[in-house]
Chain A
Amino acid sequence: MVLETELLPFREWLLWGPFVWLLVMGSLAVAGLFFGSLVAVIRHGPAAGLAATGRVLAAAVGDLFCMSPRRVWALAWLAVKDSLRRRVVVVFIVFLLLLLFAGWFLDPSSDHPLRLYISFVLTATSYLVLLLMLFLSALSLPNDLKNKTLHTVVTKPVRPSEIVLGRMLGFVVLGTTLLALMSAISYVFVVRGLAHSHEVVQASLAAVDPRQDADQGAVPLRGESTRVNGHRHDVRIDRKGQGLLEMTQDHYHRVARRQDGEKTVYEVGQPEGMLVARVPVYGKLRFMDSQRHVAERGTNVGDEWAYRSYIQGGSLAAGVWSFEGVTPTAFSDNLQLEMTLGVFRTYKGDIEQGVAGVLLLRNPKTGLTVEAKVFKSREFSTDVHRLPRKITPTAAYALQPEKDPDGRIKYVRKPLGADAKAQYDLFDDLTDDGQLEVWLQCLDPEQYFGVAQPDLYLRARDASFALNFVKGYFGIWMQMVLVIGFGVMFSTFLTGPVAMLATVGMLIGGFFRGYMIELALGQTWGGGPVESLIRILTQDNVVSDLPEGIRTTVAQTVDSVLQRGLWVVAQLLPSFGDYDCASYVAYGFNVPGNWIAERGLTALGFAVALFVVGYFFLKTREVAR
């Protein structure tokens, strides 16, 4: 699975995440106080104005910290009932219709059907739920104001903060119920959609060993299955009649032979290995150059996508992953190492064979290094290597770091001498306090392996796929909370359609936040908005510099101001794309706990801020006083 940005460990994130939040909240509070006071001073004069500001702040403390949960819940329930009156159930019906006709859009013969199914259900759900919540949250309060139904509420002893929070909570409850229903139905849709079985084509069965007679029955057989959902499997059956329909389209089936009178019947099970949630242990990747010097990156082979860096074959170059927590309790008796490699050939070589590579295991403390496995590459597919606890290596030596005269660190191979053993224990000899290094080398000269940090990981265990599926929906839930927050906040001071447009703007801006930051930092071609406009009008390309002169200077000065503004706006927006964890679920990886915690806290931070801002805006409305 491709992870282009590294996910920080939760502890590291905690060091700066809440700090940034407090900083932004503090800045907003100061800015709000300043502008609020300014308006009050202009309207009522300095003394009365400042006194009014003080009164608002004092009331805010009471409103924000002395809310009644009972009243908030009553208002939330009111929002739910109001929404149900608006026939939100229609969205649910649309979702069901979409699932009914999804078969038209989804290609079951895809190489990775799970990815298609997951991205379809998660995308469809998020579009529908976000749109629904956008309408509900942005239109609800303005409609109540317009119909004067809010007046009946404010005549009761409720605080404005309770109105805002009640609305938000009500919509969240409604959305959560909808999402829960949708996720349950989607889960059934995915599981049933991918369920299928094959038959073993008995005519294709032949003995694995050509000298043996397949008809005699008790010999290992190989053959193929029937074609279902656009694929067929190679079949392998052992002498006892048990076997597998081998891995194709990310799954396999178990098969068992039984006699039904005269007839031999092969019973094929449901697909396995597809609905998984791997829990990977990622290591930290560094590179060695062809002389085994420590290098920042591998070789650049000119690939447009610089995600992977390449290891030169037939040299000492290597990719080195440093793992932690490699203990017998975490991995029991063997180490399951999975990797996805890129392969780059500078000459054709033997095209019937993959490029040869070797996996070395190194104890980072003692330097003991063993050649654990020689393999042939399989590009763009997950290559699984199970390394036993007791390793009998093809070679063993020590790799010790030494400083070159020019100050560079070089790993030097040294014989083990008397310490050499015929067999090494994975945990006793090769790990130190759970630390282990995996070195990957390419053996074929002039050929290259391309790797990125997430390309090689240790598979500790599998989590529940169903739970992972729910986590996928949790991502959508967080997006929904943010949309509700923005919708309700805008609706406290804008009319319905305007509030909706503003929320849509936030949503779009949030999805393109990364691009906005790139624009703001001048990391895109063509300059800022004014410079781009000049280029469009003069049909100038985006790469060449504009001619020096007053026009360019003015344009770039204005741009730098606008870009700073854009940067501020971008910083205030939640990055909606970051809450999408569909790729984890689709690629069969467990959504990590730190992802949930970091994203959850960020969403909560935004929600609290939006609630507070919403409260102050509502407070300014006549009706709320």
Chain B
Amino acid sequence: MNPRRRSFIRKAVYLVVIFALLFPIYWLGAPSTVDTETMKGSRGGLLAQKREKNGLEQVYYGKIDPTSETLRLATLGMRGIAVDVLWLKNIEYQKKKDWTNVSATLNQIIKLQPNFIDVWRHQGWNLSYNCSAEFDDYRERYHWVIKGIDFLKLGTTYNQREPRLLRDIASFISRKIGRSDEHKQFRRLFREDDDFNGALPKSERDNWLVGKTWFRKAEDLIDTQKASTRGMNPIVFRSEAGMCQMNHGAAIEKEGVFGERARRAWQQAAKDWEEFGQYAIPTSTGLIVRLGQLDRLVGERQERFDEINKLGQGIHQKLQEERLSQLTDAQRKAMNTPPRERTSEQFALAQEAAALLDIEPQEIVRNRRFPREHLEKAKKLLEHIAQVEELARTTKSYRGIVNYEYWQNRAEIEQMDEMRAGRELVFRGGEALAEGDLSAALDAFARGSAHWFSVLQRYPTLMTDSSTGDDLEELLEEYGKALDQRDELFPPDFALAPYIRAQVQDNPKMYQIGASMKKADEAEKADDPGTACSFYFKALESWRQIIEDLPSLEQRSDPFTTATVLATIRKYAESLRKNDQTVPNDFILHRFVRVQMEHDPETREAQRAMERAEDAVAKQDLAAARKAYEEGFARWRDILERYPTLVGDGTLGPELMILVDGYRDVLKQENQELPKDFPLQEIVDRYGQP
């Protein structure tokens, strides 16, 4: 064979082999042509299918950016090192507050690694939360929050099947803007931000509503395109859109929007929450729960239980009678005491009694009196009850994760006219207070409080809710400020007094107060004033902490509690006296007592008498002056008996001594001295000149 022919044959063989290799290459490497919108087209070769199966396919990530590809190729396979270097530079720039280069290096990093989701998430957070916090001007901070959000939005164009990025965008728009310290300013800037919101009408530019639409986008991506929910807790994730609507309602009310718009917002929130309640959530035990179906499950259990009772022919009633007869007197008494009035011991006893009286269906079926002929059917019913109970238990525990019941009630309550009126009055009261219109403020606060109380009466669970607590704390603080400016206390018929009392009763310190008072009483009975004194003091220390938690108590927001504290103080002072001790100058409740004293009518009378005395002195009418002084001091004596710790009040003592000196001057002019039975001798002994 001549060389030319050999060469020709070799080339022909090469061509054939190349052609033959095309088939396996096509079989392995044909690209996918599936349209991400319509999901139509070829699924491609084996590798394309594997990539799709494992969520690795590049085309699904999003756009293929020529710049990004160029940069990646230009690093000659050392992309990781390049990114590391850039990342370190980024940290250094951030440390040195070189924000231009922080942005520039980020831009380069994402061009090199556009599909590394954690880079997007981490740096999006870094921009919106860390970089923004470095700025003093809130407008700059907002600018950087938006920069982080825009960064994440860019990430979604490269990674179209990544719900985590959508969720982060939603979370930043809603929470970062709506919950920051600067949320008022941020929300305002967000409304005015034409660049971010584009054509969205200003009325819809609420960060919570915009956040909600992004949460919905993330949900849609998972529901329609089966995107991975990696790293997301399904129950929390699915609740977020609904929560955004709730927060929108709450936010606009804080900004003074009530009326129909607020009602519609809460109506939508209730609807969203209802929908969320119907969503099937997979659990770690394999059960599928729907949070809104707890009532149905409880009802279903009760129906099956009733059926068992029916089959049991009165066993349930007999068992209950037997158990009732087994209760001790103390348990009976505890059960008959209304829950709010129970002591801690009674609370435990009542719980024991309730557990004893709670008869399970199994007990009925296992009872020897249960008719044999219905046993098979009853066992099936028991099995069904067990399944329903497990589902109900899981549902309940999952409801707890998102506080389902509270938000369900809240969405209902906030739609009530009563509630909205209450909120509006409190808001208007705040406005009037800021403008200095005290009468309007006090009137609005008083009426707002009444509306609030009527809502609390209808929904007593709100009494223990922290969010309601925050709202009412704000109301009490504002109301208290207005009263303070008028030098007044809360009115005796203050509508929210029962709420305050409930707060006091629920305070864990109350158990300590109860225990301390019991021990103090025992010591009193044992004629041991020293021990009594120390226990009274312990009780008062607990009271001081309660007053710190509920500062409105100082302004007598609940007269009952105030009276209780004053009674304890009197007992403490009495025990001190019996123990030959004086009230210390740094007595922990001096301020509280002083406020009560200052607003006591007797104090006003005493002050008037003293004013009369000073007038008479000015007119040189010594007899009238003396009479007025004596009347005044007698009243002060009464006051000191009512508030015995005032003797140790370092502010009041010297003030009284000035009056005493005036009286002395009058007596001196009549060549007399202070009488031996002078009502304020205690003050003179303590604060008078030696």
Contact = CB atoms under 8 A, between A and B. Distances in A.
B185 A305 contact: no
A413 interface: no
A227 B96 contact: no
A52 B504 CA distance: 106
Contact of A379 (B66, B67, B135): B135
A225 to B, nearest CB: 12
A16 interface: no
B361 to A, nearest CB: 58
B140 A380 contact: yes
B584 to A, nearest CB: 33
Nearest to A450: B97
Contacts of A355: 136
Given A105-B67, A227-B195, A352 B99 contact: no
Interface in B174-229: 181-182, 185, 195
A2 B93 CA distance: 12
Interface string B75-105: 0000000000000000000011111110110
Interface string A338-365: 0000110100100110110000000000
A351 B103 contact: no
Contact of A354 (B98, B111, B136, B195): B136
A355 B136 CA distance: 9
Given A104-B67, A348-B181, A307 B103 contact: no
B100 A380 contact: no
B107 interface: yes
A304 B101 CA distance: 18
Given A352-B138, A354-B137, A378-B137, A105 B107 contact: yes
Contacts of A380: 97, 99, 135, 140
Interface stretch (A111-119, A143-151, A512-520): A111-119
A305 B67 CA distance: 34
Given A105-B107, A107-B103, A351 B95 contact: no
Contacts of A305: 95-97
Contacts of A345: 136
Contacts of A354: 136-137
Given A2-B96, A304-B95, A351-B138, A110 B185 contact: no
Interface in B224-267: none
Nearest to B68: A104
A232 B194 CA distance: 11
Interface in A114-156: 115-116, 119
B181 A351 contact: yes
Contacts of B185: 351-352
A355 B137 CA distance: 10
Interface in A307-348: 307, 342-343, 345, 348
Interface string B104-141: 10011001000000000000000000000001111010
B686 to A, nearest CB: 38
A377 interface: yes
A227 B97 CA distance: 27
A334 B417 CA distance: 64
A343 B104 contact: no
Nearest to A355: B136
Nearest to A224: B194
Given A348-B181, A352-B185, A116 B100 contact: yes
Nearest to A112: B100
A107 B107 contact: yes
Contacts of B66: 104
Interface in B285-322: none
A110 B108 CA distance: 14
B136 A377 contact: yes
Nearest to A307: B96
Bin chain A's interface residue count.
20 to 34
B389 to A, nearest CB: 50
Contacts of A101: 67, 70
Contacts of A105: 67, 107-108, 111
A116 B102 CA distance: 11
A342 B135 CA distance: 9
Nearest to B195: A227
Contacts of B108: 105
Interface string A236-263: 0000000000000000000000000000
Contacts of A116: 100, 104
Given A351-B182, A352-B185, A378-B137, A107 B104 contact: yes
Nearest to B107: A107
A83 B138 CA distance: 57
A232 B143 CA distance: 13
A214 B287 CA distance: 66
A453 to B, nearest CB: 16
A595 to B, nearest CB: 20
A348 B66 CA distance: 46
Contacts of B137: 354, 378-379
A2 B92 CA distance: 13
Contacts of A119: 101, 104
B197 to A, nearest CB: 13
Nearest to B97: A380
Contact of B136 (A111, A304, A343): A343
A333 to B, nearest CB: 32
Interface in A67-111: 101, 104-105, 107, 110-111
B195 to A, nearest CB: 6
A379 B140 contact: yes
Given A104-B67, A343-B136, A355-B136, A111 B100 contact: yes
Nearest to B182: A351
A110 B104 contact: yes
A342 B97 CA distance: 10
Contacts of A343: 136
Contacts of A342: 97
Contacts of B107: 105, 107
A373 B195 CA distance: 36
A232 B108 CA distance: 25
Chain A CB within 10 A, most for which of B101, B111, B181? B101
B123 to A, nearest CB: 14
B104 A379 contact: no
Given A107-B104, A351-B185, A2 B135 contact: no
Chain B CB within 10 A, most for which of A342, A351, A378? A351
Chain A CB within 10 A, most for which of B103, B104, B111, B185? B104
B183 to A, nearest CB: 11
A357 to B, nearest CB: 12
A351 B133 CA distance: 12
Contacts of B67: 101, 104-105
A378 B136 CA distance: 8
Nearest to A2: B96
A345 B111 CA distance: 36
Interface string A204-235: 00000000000000000000000100001000
A379 B95 contact: no
B181 A111 contact: no
Contacts of B104: 107, 110, 116, 119
Contacts of A307: 96
Contacts of B95: 304-305
Contacts of B101: 115, 119
Nearest to B71: A105
| Ranked 4 nearest A-B pairs via Cβ | A343-B136, A104-B67, A379-B136, A112-B100
22 contacts: A2-B96, A101-B70, A105-B108, A105-B111, A107-B104, A107-B107, A111-B99, A111-B100, A115-B101, A307-B96, A345-B136, A348-B181, A351-B181, A351-B182, A352-B138, A352-B185, A354-B137, A377-B136, A379-B135, A379-B140, A380-B99, A380-B135
Interface of B: 66-67, 70, 95-101, 103-104, 107-108, 111, 135-138, 140, 181-182, 185, 195
Given A101-B70, A232-B195, A379-B137, 14 more contacts: A105-B67, A105-B111, A110-B100, A115-B101, A116-B100, A343-B136, A348-B181, A351-B138, A352-B185, A354-B137, A355-B136, A377-B136, A379-B140, A380-B99
